[in-house]
Amino acid sequence: MIQKVGIIGGGISGLSSYYYLRNGIHLTSKNVSNGLKINIFEKSNKVGGNIQTKIFKGDKKDEKIIVEEGPRSLRALGRGLNTLELIKRLGISNDVIFSSANSNGKFIFLDGKPKEIPMSGLFDIIKFSFKHSIVGSILKEPFNKIPKQVKQMDPNWDESIYDFFSRRLGKNMAKTFIEPTCLGIYGGDYTNLSIKSTFKRAALLESFGGLIFGLLFKSKKQKQFESELDKNENRLLPSKTSLKELFDKDSDKTNVFSFKDSGLSRMIERLKSLIDSDSQTKLYLSTSISEIQKNNKDNGSIKVVDNKGNQYQYDQLISTIPLNQLAPMFKKSDPKLYQLLQLVDYTSIAVVNLVYKSNKKVLKKIQDKGFGYLVPSKENQSVIGVCFDSNTFPEFVNNNEKENSSEQSIITVMIGGNKGIKDRNDHWIDVTNTSKDKLLEISLNHLDKVLDIESSPDFTNVSIYENGIPHYKVGHQNLLNEIQQHITENYGTSLLLGGNSIDGVGINDSIHKSKQLVSSLKF
Ligand SMILES: Cc1cc2nc3c(=O)[nH]c(=O)nc-3n(C[C@H](O)[C@H](O)[C@H](O)COP(=O)(O)OP(=O)(O)OC[C@H]3O[C@@H](n4cnc5c(N)ncnc54)[C@H](O)[C@@H]3O)c2cc1C
């Protein structure tokens, strides 16, 4: 019987694990584990992990400017519905804001300029498609060879995103459109990222005849296969899949959301307030776990030691920290697990926030450029993406409801990404080895050159996420299977791994993973 649970990590994965442990995984669950004692350990002096929001003073009285240091938005689709369900349960639905329709535009940096990918206007779509070889790639796709291993659905098959898409759609399409997408989500090197662990559905389509064939002409076998996958994926998602039914709010057709007044940190603040008022739960801030040992096999309990030498015993331990940071905790007690966990790869990225106040010029330069743009490596830039946050969420610069004429802008520049990128981009920057001043200078120079923004920002903020995003490299799934098998054999179910290193790198994935872990426990 589980009486005491330890959670390592106070990011969204740790905090949502706490929530589901205490409140059950279902919308209708009530006080499922009142007697359970829960301890949460967080290395830093505050919770939130990657999710950190900064508030600056705006132009007008009482006006705030909301700046996201790390993650900036969530999608209200798929696993996002689960996040919306959690938000509803947390009682903060009224604070949700959906992105403005103005941010719908998709831009890619091509030939030295951000260019919009046309989504409407037949002539524009045709012109763009011909110019960037899209038509030829699509016409040829159904005739491209499918490897034997894929046809036979070999469970051990995996390959890089680049190999997969350049085989199906050609090298040009891969370099121009697929690579920037990988940079945007993973800061990743697509010649090394696993197709199976990232674009799972696309990989599957190939085994049913290719991307186009698999999408348009579904065989009975494919439909059966996909329905099994959907059943598995939807198992923990709310049953009412319509956003409106679940949430009673119009998504403004954008499906991208955050929170007014405090950005994504709203979820963190609310979860933290629940923990603070829970007498059976203790949150240890500024406490880093440094060692984990299983006790004897009979009682299956687990011991953890913190950086101050304090020891704690748990029936169940949930780790939500990156697997490479978990590795050293097993160095003495379990060298095999230590070695396996170290093999999981991570990417470093720098985020530079720039705030411009009372600046019509900057506002004008960015207001028709949608959410921002991604930069393929072939453009040889140090910057890998630029977000116009104030286009996406105008509320972040205009939260004084009486006035509606903000001249403030927030621009966020991303630099760095996986070290593999340097093989095809001479201007790739190792952000872990570059000063914050230099990163700021690179961002300002880029914006000056590309958008002719000469003005100096009123506020700046530079964050470096060293090993901040998991990099699911080819073979990731097999490595995870090996890790899981070792854990099951040696720890039974007393050690569970959560966080975003396993099944999706986003916040929605992290919350979904926490729900999955808690649903596997028997109280
Ligand atoms: C720059 C950037 C932009 C992103 N943008 C988006 C986005 O727009 N949308 C999106 O959905 N996702 C985005 N992500 C991904 C998102 O941040 C993660 O999915 C999510 O925050 C992961 O949460 P977590 O709790 O699993 O991990 P983390 O947030 O990393 O939290 C782990 C916590 O564990 C603590 N910890 C580590 N070691 C120990 C130890 N030994 N003892 C105790 N505590 C420890 C850490 O201090 C940290 O607080 C982005 C990530 C980055 C880096």
**Is residue 371 pLDDT above 70, yes or no?**
yes
- Spacing, Cα 70 to ligand 1 middle (Å): 9
Question: What is the sign, positive or negative, of the torsion defined by CA atoms of 411, 415, 421, 423?
Answer: positive
CA 244-250-256 angle, 5° bins: 100
Ligand 1 atom at shortest distance from the alpha carbon of 351: 1
Ligand 1 atom at shortest distance from the alpha carbon of 414: 1
- pLDDT value at residue 163: 94
Mean pLDDT score, 132-142: 75
Q: What is the CATH number of domain 127-234?
A: 1.10.3110.10
The residue nearest atom 3 of ligand 1, judged by CA position, is: 71
Question: How many Cα atoms within 13 Å fall on the side-chain side of residue 359?
Answer: 24
| 132 against 487, higher pLDDT | 487
3-state DSSP of 429-453: CCHHHCCHHHHHHHHHHHHHHHHCC
Burial class (CB in 10 A: 0-12, 13-18, 19+), 347: buried
Q: With CA atoms as reference, report the closest residue to 406 among 396, 416, 420.
A: 396
d(CA 492, CA 401): 55
d(CA 292, CA 7): 12
Question: What is the sign, positive or negative, of the torsion defined by CA atoms of 172, 195, 156, 216?
Answer: negative
The mean of the pLDDT values for the chain is 90
Ligand 1 atom at shortest distance from the alpha carbon of 288: 42
The residue nearest atom 50 of ligand 1, judged by CA position, is: 71
Burial class (CB in 10 A: 0-12, 13-18, 19+), 78: middle
d(CA 447, CA 437): 16
- Spacing, Cα 507 to ligand 1 middle (Å): 8
Ligand 1 atom at shortest distance from the alpha carbon of 501: 26
- pLDDT value at residue 453: 87
Q: What percent of the chain has pLDDT over 70?
A: 92
**Nearest 5°: phi and psi at 180?**
-60, -30
List residues bridging with 373 in a β-sheet.
107, 386
The residue nearest atom 7 of ligand 1, judged by CA position, is: 71
- pLDDT value at residue 213: 78
Domain residue limits, the chain? 4-48+260-344+473-519, 53-74+90-106+346-471, 127-234
Ligand 1 site residues, Cβ closer than 6 angstroms: 8-14, 41-44, 49-51, 70-74, 288-289, 320-321, 325, 349, 351, 465, 468-469, 499-500, 505-508, 510
Torsion angle of C-alpha atoms 418, 421, 423, 425, degrees rounded to 10? -140
The residue nearest atom 4 of ligand 1, judged by CA position, is: 71
Instruction: Tell me the CATH class for 4-48+260-344+473-519.
Output: alpha beta
- Spacing, Cα 384 to ligand 1 middle (Å): 20
- Spacing, Cα 51 to ligand 1 middle (Å): 7
Q: With CA atoms as reference, report the closest residue to 430 among 412, 72, 438.
A: 438
Neighbour order of strands in the sheet with 74-75 = 74-75, 256-259, 96-98
d(CA 386, CA 400): 26
**Nearest 5°: phi and psi at 313?**
-115, 140
Q: What is the pLDDT of residues 5-37, one digit of tens each?
A: 999 999 999 999 999 999 998 777 766 677 899
Burial class (CB in 10 A: 0-12, 13-18, 19+), 147: middle
The residue nearest atom 12 of ligand 1, judged by CA position, is: 506
The residue nearest atom 27 of ligand 1, judged by CA position, is: 11
Rg (CA), the chain: 24
The residue nearest atom 5 of ligand 1, judged by CA position, is: 71
**Nearest 5°: phi and psi at 264?**
-65, -20
Q: What is the pLDDT of residues 308-358, one digit of tens each?
A: 999 999 999 999 999 999 999 999 999 999 999 999 999 999 999 999 998
Check whether domain 53-74+90-106+346-471 has CATH 3.90.660.20, yes or no: yes
